[in-house]
Copies of this chain bind each other. A is one copy, B any other.
Amino acid sequence: MDDEESRQVIGMENVRHDVRDKVQGRTVYGSDVSLPGQLYAAMKKSIYPHAKIISIDISKAKAVPGVRAVITGKDYPFHFGGFLEDQPILAIDKVRYWGEPVAAVAADDLRTAEAAARLIDVVYEELPVVDSIETALKAETLLHDDWNAYEKKGNCHPIEHSNVVDRFVLKHGDIEKGFAEADVIVESEFRCGMLQHTVMEPHSAVAVADEDHIRVYTPCQSPFAVRSQIASCFHYPLDKVRLTCTEIGGAFGCKAEAKAEPLAIALALETKRPVKLVYTRDDEFATSLARAGVLYKIKSGAKKDGTIVALQNLVYWDTGAYATFGPRVNYNAGYAATGPYHIPNVLIDSYCVETNKALGSAYRGFGVAEAACGYERQMDRVAEKLGMDPLELRLKNVLRDGMESPSGEVMKAVGVGECLEKAAAEIGWKDRPHRWVTEDGKLHGLGIACFTKISGTPSTTSCTLRMNYDGTITLNSASREMGQGVTTTLPILAAQSLGIKVENIIMADVDTDITPFDKTTTSSRSTFHGGNAVLAAAEDIKKQLRKLAAVKWKIDFDNTDYVNGRIINKLDESLSIDVNEVGKSGIMVEQEPVIAVGKYGTSDIFDPPVQETHQSKRPTVMWMMGANAAEVEVDPKTGKTRIVKIAAANDVGKVIYPLGCKQQIEGGVNMAAGSALLEEMIYENGILRNGNMVDYKVPTFMDSDFETKVILVEVPHAEGPYGAKGLGEPGTAPTAPAIVNAVSTACNTDIKSIPIKPERIILGQEG
């Protein structure tokens, strides 16, 4: 670490902070937590998707030796939810989805709890099942009688006497005028299936609670948001609720809100003992969270030259039985539903519709990947109708610096055009046909798709840095590591700013009692927001170190500087202190650390959207964007699609951690490939028919045997840390539509839903 070059951290390859413990099996996940005297919980779940609860007989369960408590919804009649507090801890009076918990047991051991739960007798009276968007919209059966009975906790606009829990409208220009001006009009639909996050680690919570305090050990991804939900649910002051966070074995949005926590807390309150609740895989499928299914009804108007002049996108989210993060999906995907295009006349009318199904909530991208399926399949249809090349059509309309987005913002630092061109070049878009048949009769096709995505705004984050005596830094941030690499990226930013080694940054554990506030670990915001907070704290650390050195040197502060990991004495350079020697240098007293607080918030720059049109000069602090190109091979005999290659180009603003960027995009591509080709929660009259890891098809390594070429485009964001933008979710977004477009081209058809079903391709049901 002698010269400037050796202190370069950003853009260099570093070892992931979390990798050693994970590989060596030392990481402590949620279910690894055990407390003295703890009880084990099990749930009794509904066997009907929609039914009145007539009676619950818990007497047999209570009589089982070792059972300490059996509770039903009426014992803890509280509701929770981040946007609408509509979800009971246990169903009260009626169940709204198959697998909804109706009672729970706490016992000395898990087997006893499970056995006792089976002995609970519930008498139901079945109700008509709202099993689809279409049924829900008829409003003949309502899941919830009165939206006003629930407290609103976030942006949420239910429609009275309906199953619509949220409506989002984005209006720009004059949609009727736009269509009137169009030379061609294309109307079509697209559907995406309901998905499970299928995280490796199921939901869990170990709760300790009394009348004054609640403490939960949980692998949740947004500790402060979950804390708010719990505090509100149980009517405790915020800071009497404490979340001690364990490491996360996968989240992707399904751990962004309360799930196992409220029930574990209720049982802990009931028994006055610690209670551990770990979801089984059955519980995960039946009663955790899901990506909502969605239906797009899209109408586009274009000029002959390819100029898109109007886009109407009617969106219907099949969001399941409770609101959860559905309204936020509706909002985020609503802004995304125009695509990254300059379109003068736009109407997005998006409905979040409740049905008797599992709970559609946050899932990597908050609906943005689904939205891209809708508008990007549509772009290919428009191109076909116009006889244009799909890439050319996109490049003609794509947003560029200085253009106004359909949301009303004058765009800056827009790299999506470059992403399109680079992804296309990588897949050989201009060098070869977009469809060909191999000698053995396999159909090959190329497809391309791009996307744009907002990051939740406004939001705040804070952190502390503690410069330790031995030259290390302790970084205290609530941005949760969930595989995305934030515990590597934030240290890299701190190390770069302070000129120390990245391995000398220690990430503190996350606990709401100790860790500074961070709104959520969602929305691809951690590098941008958390990174800015880290840099602010690092600047303060430098200032404090200079002050300490100035005292030691008996010189003015202005005669000090901090350059490249050295505290500089401008009057006598030979006295300058390497920050790695800060303890030995004697500027610290004993081992007293230098502590700095860093904050970053976007409430100042946020321009609140007009409610009726959602137009805003700055609806988001940061737009993310990218483009994928795909080559696929379809076997016409089996209808099966094999991905040959994905070229994935993302505008990351600035590469902070190359391996991390690559892993994020590769992971996102693989995950989205599952949504395109394999995954779907299949409901029959409200009952989940494939709720297990055999019948629900998650991509395995065998399915991921294709080439992913990652292309990192750097169009720096003026406000990002060193120019960086977010990258947590984008990898997923343009993957499925690129595959859908490639399969459509390969098969000379028009795929209208995902997952793409081989049987429909064989039977010619698509297109």
Contact = CB atoms under 8 A, between A and B. Distances in A.
Contact of A36 (B32, B583, B603): B32
Contacts of A228: 591
A508 B589 CA distance: 24
Contact of A590 (B212, B508, B519): B519
A495 to B, nearest CB: 14
Interface stretch (A322-330, A370-378, A470-478): A470-478
A99 B755 CA distance: 70
A462 B593 contact: yes
Interface stretch (A510-518, A627-635, A679-687, A721-729): A510-518
A527 B583 CA distance: 27
A36 B32 CA distance: 6
A231 to B, nearest CB: 8
B239 A468 contact: yes
Interface stretch (A20-28, A166-174, A391-399, A561-569): A20-28
A89 to B, nearest CB: 22
Contacts of A26: 208
Max chain B Cβ within 10 angstroms of own Cβ: one of A466, A468, A476, A583: A466
Contacts of A466: 516
A513 B460 CA distance: 24
A599 interface: yes
Interface string A683-703: 000000000000000000000
Contact of A517 (B34, B240, B508, B591): B591
Given A34-B34, A470-B238, A472-B237, A517 B462 contact: no
A707 interface: no
Contacts of A282: none
A35 interface: yes
A592 interface: yes
A470 B241 CA distance: 11
Nearest to A225: B591
B595 A462 contact: yes
B516 A593 contact: yes
B506 A509 contact: no
A37 B239 CA distance: 33
A476 B224 contact: no
A210 interface: yes
A469 interface: yes
A26 B599 CA distance: 35
Contacts of A506: 239, 242, 513
A218 interface: no
Interface in A575-600: 583, 589-593, 595, 597, 599
Given A28-B35, A212-B20, A469-B238, A462 B592 contact: yes
A613 interface: no
Interface string A1-37: 0000000000000000000100011101000101111
Q: How many monomers of this chain does the complex have? A: 2
Interface string A586-625: 0001111101010101010000000000000000000000
Given A35-B28, A36-B28, A460-B589, A514 B516 contact: no
A464 interface: yes
Given A24-B210, A34-B34, A237-B470, A590 B459 contact: yes
Contacts of A462: 592-593, 595
B239 A470 contact: yes
Contacts of A508: 511, 513-514
B592 A474 contact: no
Given A509-B514, A516-B466, A591 B238 contact: yes
A586 to B, nearest CB: 11
Interface string A658-680: 00000000000000000000000
Interface in A496-510: 504, 506, 508-509
A474 B515 CA distance: 10
Contact of A592 (B37, B237, B517): B517
Nearest to A212: B20
Nearest to A476: B514
Contacts of A239: 468-470, 472, 474, 504, 506
7 contacts: A20-B210, A24-B210, A459-B590, A461-B592, A474-B514, A514-B514, A519-B591
Interface of A: 20, 24-26, 28, 32, 34-37, 208, 210, 212, 224, 228, 237-240, 242, 272, 458-462, 464, 466, 468-470, 472, 474, 476, 504, 506, 508-509, 511, 513-514, 516-517, 519, 583, 589-593, 595, 597, 599, 601, 603
Given A24-B272, A238-B470, A590-B601, 6 more contacts: A239-B470, A458-B590, A461-B592, A506-B513, A516-B595, A592-B601
